[in-house]
Amino acid sequence: EKQMSLIMDVIRTIRNLRAELNVPPGKKVEVIIEANDREIHRLLETGLPYVTLLAFAEPVTLAVELAEKPAQALTGVAEGGVEVFLPFAGLIDVEAEKSRLSKELQGLEKERQRVEAKCQNPNFLAKAPAEVVAKEKAKLEELLAKEKALKERLALFSGAK
């Protein structure tokens, strides 16, 4: 049961990384998995065929400790502190992805500024029901988190050539 839970979480992590890069579902991708714990490494080793098949991952490199983390790769963390790396060099058009992320970031910044202005407007704060104000403040927090994540992703791709 522990093994299946671990394998399912690694597969989920790989699929999420693939989705973030907009990789077509049928396209095989290289995956590097680092499991620092020997027991977790052993469990993953026996379940590797499932990972390869269900995450459309090939080749899959499984290591106890990587000498060096891959530079041009998206990273995800699965159950048990297992790090999953999806190298994107040659997998996607980096310039097109940077352009897409920049456009998305511009839209997000406009939306954040609009919500921020609303949350700082004394008339809105005084006249709107408390639940509406709380909803707008929660929306602002969510937009700030998304904006931060997009900036990090853009920085990752800006370092890749």
Q: What is the pTM of this model?
A: 0.70
Identify the burial level of 86 via C-beta atoms within 10 angstroms of its C-beta, where 0-12 means exposed, 13-18 middle and 19 or more buried: buried
Mean pLDDT of 46-69: 90
What the block records as the tokens of 61 is 């490199």
- Between 89-98, 123-132, 146-155, the lowest mean confidence (pLDDT) is in 89-98
β pairing state of 82-87 and 73-78: antiparallel
Check residue 33 and report its DSSP letter: E
Domains contained in the chain, CATH given? 2-87 (3.30.2320), 94-158 (1.10.287.380)
Mean pLDDT of 6-13: 95
Is the pLDDT confidence value at 90 over 90?
Answer: no
Predicted confidence at residue 67, as pLDDT, reads 78
Strands (E), the chain: 29-34, 57-63, 73-78, 82-87
**Percent of the chain residues past pLDDT 90, beyond the cut:** 63
Predicted confidence at residue 56, as pLDDT, reads 92
Q: How far apart, in whole angstroms, are the C-alpha atoms of residue 75 and residue 46?
A: 23
